[in-house]
Amino acid sequence: MIEVSAPGKLYIAGEYAVVEPGHPAILVAVDQFITVSLEKTEDMGSITSFQYGNLPILWKRHNDQLVLDKRENPFHYILAAINVTESYAKEVHKQLDFFNLTIDSELDSSNGRKYGLGSSAAVTVATVRALCQFYELENTDELVFKLAALAHLSVKSNGSCGDVAASVYGGWLAFTTFDRDWVAAQQEKEQSVKELVEMEWPYLSITPLTPPADLRLVIGWTGSPASTSHLVDEVTSQRSRDQQAYTTFLKESSACVDRMIQAFQEKDIKSIQQQIRQNRKLLVNMSRATGVIIETPALSQLCEVAEAYRGAAKSSGAGGGDCGIVLFDRKEGLLPLMTAWEEKGITNLPLHVYNKS
Ligand code: PMV
Ligand code: MG
């Protein structure tokens, strides 16, 4: 039996801007995992999940037809990951086979509750890796990232794939996404998957960061779930309200995250914290300009309380609920913050950064 795990992630900075090719974000992988088990069978395959069984199939109406929103259902990512990886396997002359695939997720609770830790990315990455082992394919991080990213594109995900990168590479990362129009143009040329993954993808960069030894990441959870794909849809449709303001946001976010990356290289915790606060301001302003609520009242409280205890805090990811992150200098004691958060209904998630050995 093959068993493969992939970690969840959290955004540290650069959200929304990172959806545009070449605009940097910083992410971490966290030590909660999705595990995919795969067993060879004869004549019939199956996909089973302990956590996804009760999930609804979401649909909208388009010209009187039901249209599925595939982006919200992990089964579609699993199917897409199988499709892309098997296309690649066939191109390198592997014989396709049957298997039972079982998914066990620590990133979703059994009542379907999500923490916003990137379960659709992790399930895609774990499925791609399991199939690479099953078909005895090369299993490099770059290949797995590109196959998983192609799976995400085929589900029409509007994300940057930063979550996919964090789940593949682990640790702290600086990430800029690829030009998805370029990828689509290559696919239209009927390029094989093999040819496509062997090409260099414009604007894509994934760079490991080494944090200062005393930098401590603390995670607060608001308890309310948010849909990243819907929030990104909304920002995309509302940014034209003030195109100039959005262009400025993109530029300032890039400059802020670049300064943060430099501060990582210089091991300067004060400067990292300063950029976290700056990035929070940029996101709050962008939210005002677009009318899309990123920092909810619960996230504001999470940040304000953390700031009172000398942490640098902001919403993480798309916001609208889910988690906030706080960066501390390890000297600071954290127990008073935990108590103060509890009083405001914020839960500390006891997660650690996951580094691949
Ligand atoms: O809400 P999360 O943790 O999935 O993060 C989303 C981050 C965005 O930049 C808003 C979208 C993306 O895919 O990069
Ligand atoms: Mg989120």
Residue 110 predicted with pLDDT over 70: no
Confidence tier at 115 by pLDDT (50, 70, 90): confident
Q: What is the 48 CA–ligand 1 centroid distance (Å)? A: 27
Atom 14 (ligand 1) nearest CA:
160
Q: Looking at this protein, which amino acid is placed at residue 211?
A: P
pLDDT band at 100 (very low <50, low <70, confident <90, very high): very high
Q: What is the pLDDT of residues 226-264, one digit of tens each?
A: 999 999 999 999 999 899 999 999 999 999 999 999 999
Q: CATH for 2-208?
A: 3.30.230.10
State the closest ligand 1 atom to the C-alpha of 161, by its place in the atom list counted from 1: 13
Question: Closest ligand to 157 CA?
Answer: 1
Under 8 Å between Cβ of 254 and 17: yes
Question: Rounded to the nearest whole angstrom, what is the distance from the C-alpha of residue 25 to the centroid of ligand 1?
Answer: 10
**Which residues is 208 bridged to in the sheet?**
173
Q: Is pLDDT above 90 for 35? A: yes
Among 68-82, 128-142, 287-301, 303-317, the least confident range: 68-82
- Parallel/antiparallel/unpaired status of strands 65-68 and 98-105: unpaired
Query: Is there an atom of ligand 1 within 6 Å of 228 CB?
Result: yes
Report how far Cα 199 is from the mean position of its chain's Cα atoms. 23
Structure tokens at 216: 């401590």
**Helices of type H across the chain:** 74-91, 119-134, 141-154, 162-169, 180-188, 193-198, 228-238, 243-265, 269-290, 297-308, 335-343
- Asked if residue 173 has pLDDT above 90, the reply is yes
Q: Is 317's C-beta closer than 6 angstroms to any atom of ligand 1?
A: yes
Per-residue model confidence (pLDDT) at position 46: 95
Residue whose pair of structure tokens reads 């990951």 in the numeric block = 81
Q: What percent of the chain has pLDDT over 90?
A: 85
SS3 303: helix
- Window from 27-36, 93-102, 125-134, 330-339 with minimum mean pLDDT: 330-339
- Answer yes or no: are the C-beta atoms of 118 and 170 closer than 8 Å: no
The answer, yes or no, to whether residue 112 has pLDDT greater than 70, is no
Take residue 211 and report the two structure tokens written for it: 């944090």
Domain ranges of the chain: 2-208, 215-349
> What is the chain's mean pLDDT, rounded?
94
166 Cα: distance to centroid of ligand 2 (angstroms): 14
User: Which residues does residue 7 pair with via DSSP β-bridges, in sequence order?
Assistant: 33
pTM for the model: 0.95
What was the pLDDT predicted at 116? 87
Q: Around ion ligand 2, which residues have CB less than 5 A away? A: 116, 228, 317-318, 322
Q: Looking at the DSSP assignment, which residues form a beta bridge with residue 267?
A: none
What is the C-alpha separation between 315 and 280, in angstroms, rounded? 7
The pair of structure tokens assigned to 293 is 């609520």
**Contact 8 CB / ligand 1 (< 6 Å):** no
> For 215-349, which CATH class?
alpha beta
Ligand found nearest the CA of 163: 1
For residue 38, the model assigns a pLDDT of 98
